[in-house]
Structure 1
């Protein structure tokens, strides 16, 4: 049998491309091949097991600004399928979604299993064939038909979607590059946290600051947002944004660099100086260590004061100019020596992959191979944390499916 479409990859983009194609072409013969024995693995762990399906951002141009790689191309693709289309697709299938204050969108059940069961039930209902433990070794095109080679067999198809997700090493892409004659952008990690050995904040793990700014010395990288102190270093949206936009720069530094933290990102040097002098004048007899400014957590404030060599029993009126300058430095430019990275929860996003130069940008079809399409993180496209990477998967999968439906 020659399939109408074979999808390589049983993850978010793979399933969505198959389902979107089946909706447009109900009689199409579609096969999903997954090399592991688990389907939708990244969906299961996303958002701490809650599955952050998208982000409440409904303008293509604004939405595309959240992608360090792929922004320009995704902006055009979002005009075909974007956040509102994602919400409508799930709700049409009985999956109700809710939006949190920061814009992240989750199923109301707060369980990734809801999304997984939706996909599996839709695939079963529409008679999409699925095979697990089916690793593809290579594929080739002869007279309009692709022969896909697995370990023990071959399958044939008129159209092929590669939705394998991102690989951490360049050699993992070689079977694609050799089979399809496509070029690659070398992969490096994105969305990771900072390891800070012997951190002076290590015992403050669990403390978070709602609006901090992080900067990397010697670069233009500077991002604001919530910051979380961990037992290994730092995490939170500010750090994850930094790792996404700086993925290649940090890889070149071998993840060793000096990080500066402004614990109250709304402040400049002048405004902080003014605030400290005003507070000193108004509350001269208060102990410096006992009354945090800017609603900073008490334990963090005490540590910043201690590291400024201010005794615990010192009153504001007795603080010297030198001590105030040190405190100001700790609030505005707290210095950390980063050595290494850690994966954010169980998620892993890759910067790099199949170069956009290989593709027809309106359809995601390979220029070198008619009927070959790419979707999801296998492309050189990745977003910051917050549901943007799933939206990339849904959009690129839908666009590929739309183009394949016109070929069938």
Structure 2
């Protein structure tokens, strides 16, 4: 049996290795259009490779996928985070969990993961052909004809692991085979705020905030990072992932509402301020911050609501308290544009999930054609979830079950 895997990324390698395990006699070839293999693995997590996430209950794991959670629930039943950890550690790649549950190799070096996958591919006698874009694929009675610039190959099975595409034309060849293609739009992006003074606090991180997009139902919680272009961090990236299509329709121009005190209610904040006013009348507001906010942010917010730098809690008064409650729970910033990570870009969109059998990852339109990874209309929030989907779908597709 000749098996062609189109795409030399995480899903492609995992599909190849799974295929070898299930089909010892198969002739397996990865076709990679560029001169680089596993390029996203290389840059992921700042070059450390966020292999997966320490979430070991499938019912909880699927909540981190804005698109594909229902289908992945079935797929994770075959290969989940537990299996990922066992797979890598069984091949000499020890993983560690960080406080936010992201999992990295203990070496903190993505090359460790790349070396493992390359070593396993060599051991499994997987052929790798680089600089070899597949420019056409045709279904034949006995299999497929794969066309590259140099030659045409006859194969029995094809696994497509080409990843996401920023443009719909990148999926035209799959649409021509009868598949529905959900239009790709960016997911996982940061918010640009060109006219907001908060950018002067760039580099400042707030451990826990609640954010929402005004006029929508989109909301998220978690750490927030202020950057030289606006806002980033897990809370913002989660908001961008779950709101990918809505924010695209808004042309990335909207107001984001930030509660710097997380999920504390206005009433709870009011009560804390009243206590401060009662017990610390002579202390300066600037010097006493009981909400755990970074001092630079606290000073910025005081300045934003036009309070004197030397005002004391006793001088704050009812109006001052109300302004402070509002800025802490309902601070508004205007977003005008987005910034995506060039090497790590993630899109929602791709092959429609209704066209794929997630028990096997086989196309419902073309027998013998399989999909894995981001070529599907599946994407997760930041934190190792996109790689987990790649490992899982690659593992299942590689088994090539009928």
Q: Smaller-chain TM-score range?
A: over 0.9
Structure 1 window deviating more from structure 2 (120-129 vs 385-394): it is 120-129
Q: Among 158, 161, 178, which residue is 1:181 paired with?
A: 178
Structure 1 window deviating more from structure 2 (345-354 vs 260-269): it is 345-354
Per the TM alignment, residue 267 of structure 1 is displaced from its structure 2 partner at its CA by 1.1
The answer as to whether partners of 2:40 and 2:344 remain within 8 angstroms in 1 is yes
Give the SS at the match of 1:16: helix
State the alpha-carbon separation in 1 of the partners of residues 39 and 300 from structure 2.
41
Partner of 1:371: 368
1:329 aligned onto 2:330: no
State the alpha-carbon separation in 1 of the partners of residues 167 and 341 from structure 2.
18
Partner of 1:350: 347
User: How do residues 253-268 of structure 1 correspond to structure 2 at under 5 angstroms?
Assistant: 253-268=250-265
Q: How many residues align?
A: 402
1:170 aligned onto 2:168: yes
Q: Could you list the runs of 5+ residues in structure 2 that have no partner in the other structure?
A: none
Give me the CA root mean square deviation: 1.1
State the alpha-carbon separation in 2 of the partners of residues 149 and 69 from structure 1.
32
Give the SS at the match of 2:64: coil
1:231 aligned onto 2:228: yes
1:301 aligned onto 2:261: no
TM-score scaled by structure 1?
A: 0.97
The answer as to whether partners of 1:44 and 1:113 remain within 8 angstroms in 2 is yes
Q: Among 226, 244, 248, which residue is 1:247 paired with?
A: 244
The answer as to whether partners of 1:351 and 1:382 remain within 8 angstroms in 2 is yes
Partner of 2:199: 202
Partner of 1:393: 390
Per the TM alignment, residue 360 of structure 1 is displaced from its structure 2 partner at its CA by 2.1
- For 1:308-346, what per-residue CA distance to the aligned partner results, in whole angstroms no more than 9, with x for missing partners? 111011111111322222222111111100000011474
Q: Among 273, 288, 291, which residue is 1:276 paired with?
A: 273
Give the SS at the match of 2:119: helix
Partner of 1:53: 51
Per the TM alignment, residue 220 of structure 1 is displaced from its structure 2 partner at its CA by 0.8
Q: Among 141, 144, 148, which residue is 2:142 paired with?
A: 144
- For 1:363-396, what per-residue CA distance to the aligned partner results, in whole angstroms no more than 9, with x for missing partners? 1111221110000010011111111100100111
Structure 1 window deviating more from structure 2 (315-324 vs 91-100): it is 315-324
Partner of 1:318: 315
State the alpha-carbon separation in 2 of the partners of residues 385 and 363 from structure 1.
26
Give the SS at the match of 1:65: helix
Partner of 1:119: 117
The answer as to whether partners of 2:18 and 2:396 remain within 8 angstroms in 1 is no
The answer as to whether partners of 2:187 and 2:347 remain within 8 angstroms in 1 is yes
User: How do residues 78-93 of structure 1 correspond to structure 2 at under 5 angstroms?
Assistant: 78-93=76-91
Partner of 1:221: 218
TM-score scaled by structure 2?
A: 0.98
Partner of 1:130: 128
Structure 1 window deviating more from structure 2 (206-215 vs 352-361): it is 352-361
Partner of 1:103: 101
- For 1:186-207, what per-residue CA distance to the aligned partner results, in whole angstroms no more than 9, with x for missing partners? 1111000000012121111111
Give the SS at the match of 1:258: strand
Per the TM alignment, residue 26 of structure 1 is displaced from its structure 2 partner at its CA by 2.3
The answer as to whether partners of 1:188 and 1:247 remain within 8 angstroms in 2 is yes
> Cα distance 1:346–1:264, how it changes in 2: closer, same or farther (>3 A)?
farther
State the alpha-carbon separation in 2 of the partners of residues 40 and 343 from structure 1.
20
Q: Could you list the runs of 5+ residues in structure 1 that have no partner in the other structure?
A: none
* Greater than 4 Å deviation, 4+ residue runs: none
Q: Among 27, 30, 47, which residue is 2:28 paired with?
A: 30
> Cα distance 1:296–1:186, how it changes in 2: closer, same or farther (>3 A)?
same
Structure 1 window deviating more from structure 2 (286-295 vs 162-171): it is 286-295
State the alpha-carbon separation in 2 of the partners of residues 21 and 94 from structure 1.
21
Partner of 1:76: 74
